[in-house]
Amino acid sequence: MSTVERPVSKPRPVYLNLTRIRLPLPGIVSILHRISGAGLFLFGLPLLLYAVQTSLVSPKSFDSLRSFLAYPVTKIVLIGLVWAYLHHFCAGLRFLLLDIHQFIQLRPARQSSWVVLIASLALTLLIAVRLW
Amino acid sequence: MRRILVGAHYGLTDWLVQRLSAVVMAVYTLVLVAVAGYHGGIDYAFWQALFANSAFRIGTFLFGLALFWHAWVGMRDIWMDYVKPTALRLTLELLTILALLGYAGWLIDILWGPR
């Protein structure tokens, strides 16, 4: 990369007041991708391993896992993790498409951001309804 | 400010790993959903039979490796962005690596350990 001369004197704006930053829609999708990824690592991954292990021990443990997942509280946590997985999945797919130069203009970038947000929420709702 | 960037391919491996592992996980997820949907849901007998199949176990192991590597790249990015004190950041990175290696061992135990 070549070096670029920039005027030294011009003060660059440092504007990190989180309550006043208005993130554009693709930015919201991006930060949710990060938050959902962190949540999946911290909570989703150990819970998934625990669930798979329990489900395979015996028919009895399979049933006990199933009844554990039937509690309203566990259902809410599960739906949260399902949303995290789906949002991370859809937003990740969008990033892969951006990598091959799809939806990089402003309008398509916004539209595909809406699609990611709405598709992952709609799929989550669909699964939540079936779960309940 | 004058900046000379050296090592132009810095991070290219991470970038590539993040995308390839994402594709592996996406394919595995869609195949699993399709298999479960084709069977009309998951009961114990079907679940047990699925995990008794070597190809499925190896596929699940590859999914796990993709997941652990993907999580490492992502979590390291997060620690690098938000945790500035070096000692704390390195501690968190170390804990992340240890957790992921532990999860890898756990997965191997689930897939090939005694039941």
Which of B5, B67, B106 shows the shortest C-beta gap to A1? B5
Domain A25-131 has CATH 2.40.30.10: no
Closest CA to A88 of A33, A43, A127: A33
Using CA atoms in the order A81, A87, A90, A95, what is the torsion angle rounded to 10 degrees? -120
Q: How far apart are CA B55 and CA B60, in angstroms?
A: 9
B chain contacts of residue A93, beta-carbon cutoff 8 Å: 26
pLDDT at B11 over 90: no
Say yes or no for a CB contact (<8 Å) between A56 and B47. Answer: yes
B chain contacts of residue A92, beta-carbon cutoff 8 Å: 22, 26
- Report chain A residues touching chain B, CB-CB < 8 A: 1, 3, 5-6, 8, 34, 37-38, 40-41, 45-46, 49, 52-53, 55-57, 59, 62-63, 89, 92-93, 96, 99
More confident residue, A119 or B11: A119
What's the complex ipTM? 0.88
Q: CB of B69 within 8 A of CB of B21?
A: yes
Per-residue pLDDT at A1: 47
More confident residue, A6 or B73: B73
Task: Return the residue of A nearest to B52 by Cα.
Answer: A56
B chain contacts of residue A1, beta-carbon cutoff 8 Å: 5, 8
Distance from CA of B51 to the nearest CA of A (A): 8
Exposure pattern of B1-27 as b/e (b: 16+ CB <10 Å)? eeeeeeeeeeeeeeeeebeebbebbee
- Mean residue pLDDT across chain B: 91
Say yes or no for a CB contact (<8 Å) between B19 and A96. Answer: yes
3-state secondary structure of A1: coil
Percentage of chain B lying above the pLDDT 70 cut: 91
Per-residue pLDDT at A104: 87
B12-112: which CATH number, 1.20.120.330, 1.20.1300.10, 3.55.40.20, 1.20.1250.20?
1.20.1300.10
**Domain range summary for chain A, segments of one domain joined by +:** 25-131
Digit-by-digit pLDDT tens for chain A (132 residues) are 455 666 567 777 776 777 777 889 999 999 999 999 999 999 999 999 999 999 999 999 999 999 999 999 999 999 999 999 999 999 999 999 999 999 889 899 999 999 999 999 999 999 999 988
B9-32 average pLDDT score: 91
Q: Does B20 touch chain A (CB under 8 A)?
A: no
Could you tell me the pTM of the whole model?
0.87
Which of A5, A37, A63 shows the shortest C-beta gap to B74? A37
Which of B74, B75, B107 shows the shortest C-beta gap to A49? B107
Q: Does B84 touch chain A (CB under 8 A)?
A: no
Closest CA to B32 of B74, B69, B60: B60
Per-residue pLDDT at A18: 76
Pairs of CB atoms within 8 A across A/B = 54
Report residue B92's pLDDT band, with 50, 70 and 90 as the boundaries: very high
Per-residue pLDDT at B9: 61
